[in-house]
Amino acid sequence: MVTKYRIINDRDSGILKEPDKAKEQKDSFLEDPLAFKEYSFHKEEHYLIDKTVLTPEKEIFFNIYRMDRFNIFPVIEASKKQPSKIDSQLLNFAGDFVIKKSDIPLYHDYLLSLTELSDPSEEGKIKTIMIRENSKLIMKDLLDDPRSGKKIKESKIMVNNMVDCILQNRDAIYSMLSLKNYDYYTYTHSVNVAVLSVGLGVAIDLKRNDVEKLGTGALLHDIGKSAISHEILNKQGKLDSKEYLIMRNHVTEGEKILRTHKEVSEESFDAVLQHHEKLTGKGYPMKLQDGEIKLFGRITAIADCYDALTTRRPYKPAFTPFNALSIVAKETGNYDPELLGVFIKMLGKIK
């Protein structure tokens, strides 16, 4: 059964509301701590899935919701007992599609079923989608439980797959990126930064072994955000100076966490510790300058900034890839100009 436009959050239950109405709520929402708490709760209790994996007419065994700005709407109601078919019209709906965290294993089974059915000409594309989705799932688990050695090992395996794929076909980065999301999720951002960094590492002909270390550092670069409260992570609008200082701690928190994992090589730490440093010395946490910032720090800084610009937030639109690249390009003082040139060339085909 397919239900459209029914709001299920407690505040608004029963009221029919179109997305435009939700837009009008924006200002009051920012000042409404209860509404924010509710939104933040939904965000943490759900997992973002990718619309591109939803194949029309395919059966689905779990509920799918769409988060549009600050509201959550069911779009498919389904269970193991009562599966539902994916309606192609659903894919045109605005907003992010999410599932309940408890349904992640069913989503994983659904992804596996795609590989079984894919026709041979689609094999490459399905492979890249699987790498992207599995990397997101691993990162989501790691952010919930950053001490898990098992998940760190899995993340390294996933980065190896990512490197293999991009070495075989450089265009694979396009289908490995999660684009056009409506909200920011640390796990999606982490995977995008890893894909962009690996792509850049391959484009400058780094040795395979080094690309893997770069990719691992890039995937884990924000793992320290697991130590930051959801109130600050999900805050709408600008952080105040106290909150900003807390947020900045994610870099050193990330280092602390990763020091407990012996499998993470020393070079990968450059990506974690230096992704917010700027060549001008205006970055953090060490205010490093020029040559003091290592190659992996320079690469992840570009990837991190680009992905932040192209990501939409409920309170701000996303820049298009072209505009984001123009903004980063103007910041040549902050970022390595040679790497930036290669990065812009690498993303030339992106829409």
**Where does this chain bind Fe ion (CB under 5 A)?**
222, 304
Cα–Cα distance, 92 to 180 (Å, whole number): 13
Q: How far apart are the first and last CA of the chain?
A: 34
Beta carbon nearer to Fe ion, 183 or 304: 304
Cα–Cα distance, 97 to 160 (Å, whole number): 28
Q: What is the DSSP string of 88-132?
A: GGGGG-SSEEEEEGGGHHHHHHHHHHHHHH--GGGHHHHHHHHHH
Beta carbon nearer to Fe ion, 35 or 303: 303
Are 29 and 22 a contacting pair, CB within 8 Å? no
Q: Give the strand pairing for 64-68 and 71-76.
A: antiparallel
Least distance CB 285 / Fe ion (angstroms): 11
Least distance CB 188 / Fe ion (angstroms): 11
Beta carbon nearer to Fe ion, 41 or 244: 244
Beta carbon nearer to Fe ion, 222 or 253: 222
Least distance CB 115 / Fe ion (angstroms): 30
Are 299 and 275 a contacting pair, CB within 8 Å? no
Least distance CB 283 / Fe ion (angstroms): 11
Helices (H) then strands (E): counts for the chain = 16, 6
**DSSP β-bridge partners for residue 72:** 67
Beta carbon nearer to Fe ion, 133 or 304: 304
Beta carbon nearer to Fe ion, 74 or 215: 215
Cα–Cα distance, 159 to 165 (Å, whole number): 10
Ranges of H-type helices in 7-66? 19-24, 26-30, 33-45
Least distance CB 275 / Fe ion (angstroms): 6
In terms of Cα–Cα distance, which of 256, 302, 257, 248 is closest to 279? 302
Least distance CB 213 / Fe ion (angstroms): 18
